[in-house]
Structure 1
Amino acid sequence: MTPHFIRQLIIHTICNVTGEPPENITAKNRIELNTRDWEQIFSRLEATLDIQTGMLTSTERSISIDALTPVLHAKISDDIVI
C-alpha cells in the first residue's frame, strides 16, 4: 500500500465522518476534531488497514494528514509478516 493511497484514505475517512468536502480538509494544516469524530476516524482507519495505532485512546484531538500518513504507512509495513 503506497503512502499516496493511505493519504487519500485518511482524507476520505475524515470527509465521511465530518461531512466536510476534501478541499476543506486538505486546505488545513491541522484538523481539529471532537472526541466522537476522532474515535470514528481512527476506528475506521484501524479496521480498514487492519492495524492498531493506539490513537483511539489518545487525548490529542488534532491531526496533520501529512504527519499521519507516514506513521500509518510504517505501521502497515511493520505488521506485514512474510
Structure 2
Amino acid sequence: MTPYFIRQLIIHTICNVTGAAPIEVTALDWVELNTRDWEQVFSRLEATLDIQTGMLTSIERSFSIEKLMHMLHARVTHNIVI
C-alpha cells in the first residue's frame, strides 16, 4: 500500500465524515475535528487498514494529513505478515 493511497484514503474518510469537499480538506495545513468526527475518522481508518493507531483515545483533535499519512504507512507496512 503506497503512501499516496493512504493519503487519498485519509482525505476520502474526512470528507465522508464531515461532508467537506476534498479541495477544502487538502487546502488545510492542520485538520481540526470535533470529538464525534475524530472518533468516526479514526475508527474508520483503523478498520479499513486493520491497525490500531491509539488516536481514538488521544485528547488532541487536530493533525497534519502528511504526518498522519506517514504514520499510518509505517503502521501498515510493519503489520504485514508474510
| Fold shared, TM-score > 0.5 on shorter chain | yes
Q: 2:12 matched to 1:12?
A: yes
In the alignment, the residues of structure 2 paired with residue 60 and residue 53 of structure 1 have an alpha-carbon distance, to the nearest angstrom, of: 13
- TM-superposed CA distance for 1:33, in Å, is 0.5
In the alignment, the residues of structure 1 paired with residue 32 and residue 56 of structure 2 have an alpha-carbon distance, to the nearest angstrom, of: 15
Q: TM-score, normalised by structure 1?
A: 0.98
Q: TM-score, normalised by structure 2?
A: 0.98
Could you tell me which residue of structure 1 aligns to residue 39 of structure 2? 39
Could you tell me which residue of structure 2 aligns to residue 66 of structure 1? 66
Gaps of 5+ in 1: none
Could you tell me which residue of structure 2 aligns to residue 51 of structure 1? 51
- TM-superposed CA distance for 1:81, in Å, is 1.2
1:8-31 per-residue CA deviation (whole Å, 9 max, x = no partner) reads 000000000000000000000001
Gaps of 5+ in 2: none
3-state SS of paired residue (1:6): helix
Identity of aligned residues (%): 72
- TM-superposed CA distance for 1:67, in Å, is 0.7
Q: Runs of 4+ in structure 1 displaced over 4 angstroms?
A: none
Q: 2:2 matched to 1:2?
A: yes
